[in-house]
């Protein structure tokens, strides 16, 4: 028995410990240990006399075939591989360790991460089978010099995908997806290559779908999930993943051809900071009014003096005042 098989069985309905032991050929004690391991990973499992074990909330496990079937034809044509794994250290790290394919995009979705991370090394809370942890690797002809805007272009594609599902999402520079100031998800771009030659980058997306409340206690900022703000969009993680990839894959192909320019205007319609007073933390502390994206993807800020400064993701964090 593995944890995925056990969780799939529980997802089909309440099951007694005796029935689970018989199904998987193990002892009742071993069943209890595996149930406790799932609970520690973030799965909320109830246990009631006469009813057995039952999931507190419905759970749909990720399925590569179902996701692939839900892709649009243009997106499917840009896909090299699509895999689903159980628990890894980090979906980005798995793809970064691979040599990569020559053409097309490699997509990896995982049910959980033991070392999920966000921007600047922060921990990304990754409970099992609750949210979406998706990484996409591909090569870019423009080289490292142009990849500075990649997370912004990917953010636009994700925001457009979510808006198509009725989610009133905004983008908080440089890489956060927010709803009314609460974090819904984030993007992390990693990779390497030549400054002006070929480069390979991995775009990682963490999206809160149905965050277990007990697991979220360690999150140190306001947050939300799709189950709270848009239950219909959260109903099927497989359908959600297919929609996201159907927007992401063509967008990253366009970014490879044209760079950030065609995404700047689209970004403006999602910009959570535009014309708001902000404080810039890290590097030179600044306060001013956010004016939107610069040509290279930096954030334009009008200082109280009237001068305009441009700050970049690698230098600062931004908090709306």
pLDDT in tens, 201-210: 999 999 999 9
- Is 113 annotated as ligand-binding? yes
**% of the chain with per-residue pLDDT over 90:** 67
Q: For the ranges 151-155, 190-194, 264-268, which has the lowest average pLDDT?
A: 190-194
Fold match between domain 64-268 and domain 277-320:
no
- 314 has a pLDDT exceeding 70: no
Question: 64-268 in CATH: which number?
Answer: 3.30.930.10
d(CA 274, CA 278): 9
Return the active site residues.
Answer: 119, 183, 319
pLDDT tens digits for 58-103? 788 999 999 999 999 999 999 999 999 999 999 999 999 999 998 9
Cα distances from 230 to residues 20, 95, 210, 312, in angstroms, run 34, 30, 11, 32
Give ∠ CA 164-167-173 in degrees, rounded to 5.
Answer: 100
Assigned fold of 277-320: SH3 type barrels. (2.30.30)
- Is 254 annotated as ligand-binding? no
d(CA 245, CA 31): 37
- 241 has a pLDDT exceeding 90: yes
Query: Are the beta carbons of 308 and 300 closer than 8 angstroms?
Result: yes
Query: Are the beta carbons of 182 and 224 closer than 8 angstroms?
Result: yes
Cα distances from 198 to residues 139, 167, 193, 251, 262, in angstroms, run 7, 36, 6, 18, 21
**Phi/psi at 31 (nearest 5 deg)?**
-60, -45
Instruction: Give alpha helix (H) positions in the chain.
Output: 3-11, 17-24, 28-40, 64-69, 73-77, 91-96, 150-164, 226-229, 237-258, 261-268
- Is 183 annotated as ligand-binding? yes
Q: At what angle do helices 261-268 and 237-258 cross, to 10 degrees?
A: 130
- Is 28 annotated as ligand-binding? no
- Is 27 annotated as ligand-binding? no
- Is 118 annotated as ligand-binding? yes
Which residues are paired to 290 by β-bridges? 301
Give the pLDDT confidence score for residue 1 in this predicted structure.
64
Average model confidence (pLDDT) across the chain: 90
CATH, domain 3-55, list 1.10.260.40, 1.10.10.10, 3.30.1490.20, 3.40.50.300: 1.10.10.10
Every domain of the chain and the residues it spans = 3-55, 64-268, 277-320
């Amino acid at each position: 028995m593995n944890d995925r098989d056990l969780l799939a069985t529980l997802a089909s309905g309440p099951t007694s410990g005796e029935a689970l032991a018989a199904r998987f050929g193990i002892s009742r004690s071993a069943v209890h240990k595996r149930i406790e391991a799932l609970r520690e990973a973030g799965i909320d499992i109830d246990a009631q006399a006469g009813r057995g074990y039952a999931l507190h909330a419905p759970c749909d496990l990720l399925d590569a075939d179902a996701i692939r079937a839900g892709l649009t034809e243009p997106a499917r044509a840009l896909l090299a591989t699509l895999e689903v794994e159980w628990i890894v250290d980090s979906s980005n790290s798995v793809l970064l360790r691979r040599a990569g394919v020559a053409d097309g995009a490699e997509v990896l979705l995982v049910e959980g991460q033991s070392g999920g991370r966000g921007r600047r090394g922060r921990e990304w809370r990754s409970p099992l089978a609750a949210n979406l942890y998706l990484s996409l690797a591909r090569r870019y002809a423009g080289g490292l010099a142009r990849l500075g805007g990649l997370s912004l272009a990917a953010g636009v594609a994700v925001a457009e995908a979510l808006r198509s599902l009725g989610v009133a999402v905004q983008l908080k520079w440089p890489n956060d997806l927010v709803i009314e100031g609460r974090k819904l998800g984030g993007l992390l771009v990693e990779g390497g290559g030549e400054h002006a030659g070929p480069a390979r980058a991995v775009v990682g997306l963490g999206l809160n779908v149905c965050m277990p409340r007990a697991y979220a206690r360690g999150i140190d900022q306001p947050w939300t999930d799709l189950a709270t703000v848009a239950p219909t969009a959260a109903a099927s993680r497989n359908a959600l993943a297919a929609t996201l990839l159907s927007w992401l894959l063509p967008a990253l192909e366009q970014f490879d051809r044209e760079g950030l320019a065609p995404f700047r205007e689209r970004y403006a319609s999602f910009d959570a900071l535009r014309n708001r007073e902000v404080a810039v933390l890290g590097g030179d502390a600044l306060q001013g009014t956010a004016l939107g994206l610069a040509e290279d993807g930096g954030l334009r800020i009008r200082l109280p003096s009237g001068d305009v400064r441009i700050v970049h993701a690698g230098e600062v964090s931004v908090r709306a005042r």
